[in-house]
Amino acid sequence: MKGSEKGVKRSERTNAPSAFALSLLFFFNFQFSIFNLATAQRVEVQEPVPVKNVVVPEEHSATKALLWSLIPGGGQIYNGQAWKVPVIYGTFAGMGYAIHYYYTRTVKFKDEYLYRVNHNDTPNLADYANYPTSNIYNLYNSYNRSFQLMVIITVGVYALNLIDAYVFGHLYDFRIDDDISLAVTPTLQASPLGFQPSLGVTLSF
């Protein structure tokens, strides 16, 4: 009997798992569970999207256009109408030449007239020796008026430069739609006899 009991106990010891094997099994099972949990909860990290600086366009100002036009053509460039600059400076160049032309002749005939008055009508300029003193005075007045007129026109051109820049500064954001349509629709018009049918015209732009 005792021999058989010992044999059974040995067989039970042989078939029963050892504590070390159970510990290894528990350890690997725990590690595998943690790995699965980490894989399930893993969140993909994306690279940050670069934020672009949004530049807000500056509002167009008619006052700034006027101030820029104090320098002839500056306001037109600010308004995006640079093609006007050659016209402006070409006009100023022509007016400058005219002012110089009439001014030099005004001074010339003025000096000739004063010389004759102070020297008993003796001519000073050989080219005008045959001209009477009265004619010299008339030539002086004529060139002087033309000189003054050119100065006034030049001031006017400068003022137009300012006005043009200011007006088109206001119209800078003004847009006209290309879709211009004309529609004829029936309407009811009030009259002493009541409402009567009529045609109405609508212009859309």
Q: Give residue limits of the domains in the chain.
A: 86-162
Percentage of residues of the chain with pLDDT beyond 90: 46
* C-beta of residue 161 within 8 angstroms of C-beta of residue 84: no
| Amino acid residing at 174 | F
pLDDT band at 173 (very low <50, low <70, confident <90, very high): confident
2 pLDDT more than 50: no
How high is the pLDDT of residue 52?
A: 66
CB atoms near residue 154 (< 10 Å):
17
pLDDT band at 77 (very low <50, low <70, confident <90, very high): very high
58 pLDDT more than 80: no
End-to-end alpha carbon distance in the chain: 119
The CA angle 121-127-129, to the nearest 5 degrees, is: 25
Q: Tokens 């006007």 appear where?
A: 84
